[in-house]
Amino acid sequence: MRREMLAFEKGGPQNTKATLKAARERAEELGIRKVVLATSTGRTALEAVEAFKKLPVQIIGVTLQAGYWHVYAAPNKKKVAAAEAKGVRFLTATHSLSSLEAAIQEKFGGIPPLQLIAHTYYTFSQGMKVAVEVAVMAADAGLVENGEDVIAVAGTGEGADTAIVLKAACSNNFFDLKVREVIAMPR
């Protein structure tokens, strides 16, 4: 099989429309019915609603865990409500690739195993790490099935610049997760 991948010169929110368009095209080609995406405030979820319009896809917006809201951004109640009114399901949960280990690392130092896994995904891009993480969070919450092919979308800081097709897995089966395709990512 031969396919093209979008490779952005620079990561960031300026790539959101192109990333969502490419993700939509691939969802349509593969018959994928669930899209899991990182969305701090709800803005990217609203953009995804427009990008996936008229395609029978469930959009699952995964926010930052509440402990990071003061550092980055909390969900915007109006944007979340608007996206929910258009069918988006939201999830706020513990980050699957940091959680308690981040607290252990900060308090005692060292690099816990989850941080090694997270930083391995970071070698691709921030969006790659977050896309995998939100898919695991959605699986842990029962919003996607273990073994189900989904599209996961995330970005660098804000917006979306990374989209992947992956075989989802819950955190207790993490190594069953498979990144099947890279649709888009920064170089």
Does residue 7 fall inside a structural domain? no
Does residue 187 fall inside a structural domain? no
Q: Which two tokens stand for residue 160?
A: 């979306």
The pLDDT value recorded for residue 146 is 95
The whole-number average pLDDT for the span 136-165 is 96
Q: How many CB atoms lie within 10 A of CB 118?
A: 21
Does residue 99 fall inside a structural domain? yes
Does residue 182 fall inside a structural domain? no
Checking 121-125 for CB contacts under 8 A at 24+ apart, the result is 121/97, 124/182, 124/185, 125/11, 125/156, 125/161, 125/162, 125/185, 125/186
Please state the φ and ψ torsions of residue 45, each to the nearest 5 degrees.
-65, -40
Does residue 112 fall inside a structural domain? yes
pLDDT tens per residue, range 81-123: 999 999 999 999 988 887 777 778 888 888 888 888 988 999 9
Please state the φ and ψ torsions of residue 123, each to the nearest 5 degrees.
-65, -20
Residue 66 reports pLDDT greater than 90: no
Domain of 28: which CATH number?
3.40.1380.20
Edge-to-edge strand ranges of the sheet holding 89-91: 6-8, 178-186, 162-167, 149-154, 34-38, 58-62, 89-91
Does residue 163 fall inside a structural domain? yes
Tally of structural domains, the chain: 1
Tokens 């690392």 found at: 105
**Domain enclosing residue 102, as ranges:** 13-173
Does residue 2 fall inside a structural domain? no
